[in-house]
Amino acid sequence: MSEVPLEARPLRRLYRYGLAYSGRLLVGLLFGIIGGGSVFGLLKNLGDVTDSAFDFATGSLRSLLVTSVGLIVFFTLRGIGHYFSIYFINWVGFKVVEDLRRECFGKLQKLQLSFYSRHSSGELISRVTNDTTQVQHAVSGVVADIAQQPFALIAALGYMLYTDWVLAVLSLVVFPICIAPVVIFGRKVRKYSKQSQEHLSDLSSVLQENVSGVRVVKAFGMEVYEEEKFNRENRKVFGRLIKIVLARNVNQPLMEIVSALGIVSVLVYVYLHRMTYGEFISFAAALALMYHPAKMLGKVHMEIQKAMGSAERIFMLLDEPVEVTEPTNGVGLDEPVRELRFENVSFSYGDGPVLNQIDLRIESGEKVALVGSSGSGKSTLASLVPRFYDPTHGRVTLNGIDLKAFSFQGLRTQIALVTQDTFLFNDSIANNIAYGQADVDPDRIEDAARRANAHEFILEMSEGYQTLVGERGGRLSGGQRQRLAIARAIYRDAPILILDEATSALDNESERLVQSAINEMMKGRTSIVIAHRLSTIQHADRILVLKEGRIVEQGTHDALLAQSGVYRYLYDLQFANTTRM
């Protein structure tokens, strides 16, 4: 492993994607050989045509015609070979990009939430779009060149050796001189491209954050600060791009100058050795025809370098370990929920422990409330149930079966979740309520909306249930969004209900209305309710008080009040607040 140079590994892996389409690659290669190889016949006929045309004394019209037809045939072959080679190889290139994008997106669906808290959305979007495009250049551009240019180069060289080997060898000396700068500047281009891609993704992050956080930016008067932050990244991108231009474009003039030197030398040689017109013309053409393949092959190196940074980033994403994995033969739950159980569960996000030895048994139909100060681990505890995270120690079971044994689908259809930050898709209200359900039943949607106290405001909107909610539900108020999220949970009709501060964005009046909907929805269901306002959970069957990731108290509202512990303290705090208001 260790003797493989670092850059070779993503490259090899990348071309393995291309090899999946080896049939088309082969056809592309064959056409490349035809297109490239035809250069030899083309040059030979060019020389002969020229000689026949200029040899006024002995040349026959017949040989002129024959060689002319030959010339046209070889040009045609070259065109056809070129065209189909490009077509087939680009086909593979675009297909590889499609595959990579599909894999990236599939991976993003599998990755656990902790991955998303480590990476910005701008960065992830850039990987799936920009980086894959970079890679596509490497696969189609580079492979197309490799399938064609070497043969054109060999054919041109072969022809030169065939016509005048001394002159050919002399010409060969020029070639390495052409290659030298390509190698040197190629390295620089690679370095700068990698940096520019990184800066570009930073720039996207700043932009993305700024746009989605526009309210906060304005409210805190941070426009100038944000602009400076953006401009700084923007300048960095410019700096890198311009360095790439400097390094990359120095190649062409250098090669052209060297080519000019070559042609001049050939002319001197022609003078000394008395070449025929045909020999000279075809030799010069061979030199000219060599230039393009050589240039392209020179570029191959750079294109690969440029794509390698992108490929590395893509493979890093694809190799990201999936911590929360779905079992291969995951089961579903084909019986009613009997109990949900936390068995000595501890959890950490990576730093300190967030949940400590939680033992908890929730029976079917039980309504359990979690209270505790902010950061005590309530949301974390609730997020272990749909397996957003897995416990670091201990296990969570449903009807005695470890949650890890369920298929995601099997587990998650048992659960309806409403959180504080509700996410709505830029789709109609009806589709947002029915999100994730196979059947979209307008009557049930309306019923769910009525029960979530959302029906009235939906009817007031321009197109009722078909109104588009705008990106992230931007056209709705926080309370409206939350009522839609509750309607979505009602529509889902799952046996386990998790409400994480589900009514926190509502005003008192709507909360009272929605609360009755929630109470009704909870009937007969196993529920975990996290509420900031203790008044909403007073009637829970059991209240658990969390403190620093431990359950420190539990019991009914009355029992806990009587204990004069943490719950009593939290209750008095809120009670004092409400009387003051």
CB of 324 to ligand ADP, least distance (A): 13
The stretch near ligand ADP (CB under 6 A) out of 52-60, 371-379, 439-447, 569-577 is 371-379
Residue 121 binds which of ligand ADP, Mg ion, none (CB < 5-8 A, kind-dependent): none
What are residue 331's DSSP bridge partners?
Answer: 406
**Residue number with CB closer to ligand ADP (429 or 531):** 531
Residues whose CB falls within 8 Å of the CB of residue 133, separated by 6 or more in sequence, listed in order: 97
Cα dihedral 157, 159, 164, 168, rounded to 10, equals -10
CB of 374 to ligand ADP, least distance (A): 4
The stretch near ligand ADP (CB under 6 A) out of 51-59, 129-137, 318-326, 368-376 is 368-376
Out of 23, 59, 253, 375, which residue is the one contacting ligand ADP (CB under 6 A)? 375
CA nearest neighbour of 298 among 381, 186, 206, 378: 186
Out of 379, 419, 432, 503, which residue is the one contacting Mg ion (CB under 5 A)? 379
Out of 190, 367, 378, 481, which residue is the one contacting ligand ADP (CB under 6 A)? 378
376 binds ligand ADP (CB under 6 A): yes
x-or-dash pattern for ligand ADP, window 88-127, by CB under 6 A?
--------------------------x--x----------
In angstroms, the CA 344 to CA 355 distance is: 10
Residue 333: how many CB atoms within 10 A of its CB? 17
Are 85 and 35 in contact by the 8 Å Cβ rule? The answer is yes
**Residue number with CB closer to ligand ADP (112 or 210):** 112
Residue 443: how many CB atoms within 10 A of its CB? 7
Residue 116 binds which of ligand ADP, Mg ion, none (CB < 5-8 A, kind-dependent): none
The stretch near ligand ADP (CB under 6 A) out of 52-60, 137-145, 335-343, 374-382 is 374-382
372 binds ligand ADP (CB under 6 A): yes
578 binds ligand ADP (CB under 6 A): no
**Residue number with CB closer to ligand ADP (348 or 397):** 348
Reduced to 3 states (helix: H, G, I; strand: E, B; else coil), residue 514 is helix
In angstroms, the CA 241 to CA 221 distance is: 32
What are residue 530's DSSP bridge partners?
Answer: 370, 500
Place of tokens 């309530």: 378
Q: What is the DSSP letter of 189?
A: H
In angstroms, the CA 129 to CA 98 distance is: 10
Are 217 and 226 in contact by the 8 Å Cβ rule? The answer is yes
x-or-dash pattern for Mg ion, window 488-517, by CB under 5 A?
------------------------------
18 binds ligand ADP (CB under 6 A): no
CA nearest neighbour of 46 among 87, 21, 74: 74
Report the Cα–Cα distance between both ends of the chain, in Å, rounded.
Answer: 69
Which tokens belong to 543?
Answer: 């209240």
Q: Could you list the residues that contact Mg ion (CB under 5 A)?
A: 379
Q: Could you list the residues that contact ligand ADP (CB under 6 A)?
A: 114, 117, 349, 354, 372, 374-380
